[in-house]
């Protein structure tokens, strides 16, 4: 008898067909009523879950007696209670690497648009305000040759650094848990403590996973250490930044600007950030290209399939749960 896979976010018909080669597949349908109710009804039958964006832990999975694996279509896994998964022996997989370049592209889009005030001046132009050449009050700031500080020089951080170093001749500073000698040689990157990096960088790009250690790692004190001319870019997780402190810094001129793809609360329907002209706000789209999202989904399918067929998944977050 086939095992059952339950999707907890939408997957394409082609992906369903690929899964159906091995499993019975349940995909909640918005046209059939409440998605959460459909998910909860199907959960006791599920041997595997696949999707993204739904918090899963002790409370949500209490009825999932057959569950063997959760295959997340994401790199980050802060939505999942890994300790509970380990307690239950539930495998957790993610999709690293495949979104590296797309997310690095977006980081640089935020750097460029924040520096040159793209969103702000687009709205200004469309409002009919362009009557003459712009004055100094609407000037942006250069990117080329400015110092780029990256907090978290993993795969995505390194991809951002390469764009800055090779494309814009930017000196690269980085901070993190460990030194990266190969990247130091390749990019002439220089290691700094977080405090030193904040004080020296013209652009600070956050590329760290969310953990107890990184939650609110950038607060009022850290923002005050940055140059008043600096721009903060966050493509990691919203709670890495104390959002209230950031709003205040942007309002009072402690910080020149910010480019954000992530927030403490998502989706974000209203926020003081929306009232500020010196911040670019995007709806968590770091990996949101058709090609990358497909690659992530198929990687997640491969991980799920391996786990349910008794093989070790390629991207196993908690290897102690694999019983093969």
- The catalytically annotated residue of 87, 266, 275, 312 is 266
Tokens of 166: 């090779």
Please check whether residue 301 is in contact with residue 15, taking contact to mean a CB–CB distance below 8 angstroms: yes
Please check whether residue 73 is in contact with residue 80, taking contact to mean a CB–CB distance below 8 angstroms: no
Please check whether residue 168 is in contact with residue 145, taking contact to mean a CB–CB distance below 8 angstroms: yes
- The catalytically annotated residue of 237, 256, 293, 299 is 237
Q: Using CA atoms, how far apart are residues 182 and 321, in angstroms rounded to an integer? A: 33
Q: Using CA atoms, how far apart are residues 103 and 89, in angstroms rounded to an integer? A: 32
* In 131-241, alpha helices (H): 155-162, 168, 181-187, 194-200, 220-225
Distance between first and last Cα of the chain: 20
- The catalytically annotated residue of 10, 215, 216, 284 is 284
Q: Using CA atoms, how far apart are residues 173 and 180, in angstroms rounded to an integer? A: 11
| Helix, strand, coil in percent for the chain, rounding step 5 | 40, 15, 45
Please check whether residue 187 is in contact with residue 162, taking contact to mean a CB–CB distance below 8 angstroms: yes
DSSP letter, residue 95: -
284 is catalytic: yes
Q: Using CA atoms, how far apart are residues 205 and 232, in angstroms rounded to an integer? A: 6
Tokens of 133: 């050449």
312 is catalytic: no
Angle between helix axes 155-162 and 100-115 (nearest 10 degrees) is 50
Q: Using CA atoms, how far apart are residues 290 and 226, in angstroms rounded to an integer? A: 36
200 is catalytic: no
Which sequence positions are flagged as catalytic? 237, 266, 284
């Amino acid at each position: 008898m086939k095992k059952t896979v339950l999707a907890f976010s939408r997957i394409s018909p082609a992906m369903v067909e690929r899964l159906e080669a091995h499993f019975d597949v349940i995909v909640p349908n918005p046209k059939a009523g409440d998605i959460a109710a459909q998910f909860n009804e199907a959960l006791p039958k599920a041997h595997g879950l696949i999707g993204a964006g739904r918090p899963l832990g002790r409370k949500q999975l209490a009825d999932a007696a057959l569950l063997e694996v959760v295959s997340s279509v994401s790199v980050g896994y802060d939505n999942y209670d890994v300790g509970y998964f380990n307690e239950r022996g539930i495998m957790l997989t993610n999709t690293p690497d495949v979104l590296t370049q797309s997310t690095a592209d977006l980081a640089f889009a935020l750097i460029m648009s924040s520096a040159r005030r793209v969103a702000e001046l687009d709205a200004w132009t469309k409002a009919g305000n362009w009557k003459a050449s712009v004055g100094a009050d609407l000037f942006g700031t250069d990117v080329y040759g400015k110092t780029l500080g990256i907090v978290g020089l993993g795969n995505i951080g390194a991809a951002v650094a390469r764009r800055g170093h090779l494309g814009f001749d930017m000196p690269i500073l980085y901070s993190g848990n460990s030194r990266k000698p190969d990247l130091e040689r390749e990019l002439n990157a220089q290691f700094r403590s977080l405090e030193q990096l904040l004080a020296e960088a013209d652009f600070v790009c956050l590329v760290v996973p969310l953990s107890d250690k990184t939650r609110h790692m950038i607060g009022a004190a850290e923002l005050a250490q940055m140059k008043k001319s600096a721009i903060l870019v966050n493509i990691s997780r919203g709670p890495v930044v104390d959002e209230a402190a950031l709003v205040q810094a942007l309002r009072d001129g402690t910080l020149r600007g910010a480019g954000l793809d992530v927030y403490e609360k998502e989706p974000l329907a209203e926020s003081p950030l929306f009232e500020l002209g010196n911040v670019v706000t995007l709806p968590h789209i770091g990996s949101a290209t058709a090609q990358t999202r497909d690659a992530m989904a198929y990687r997640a399918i491969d991980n799920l399939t391996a786990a349910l067929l008794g093989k070790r998944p390629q991207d196993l977050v908690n290897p102690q749960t694999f019983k093969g």
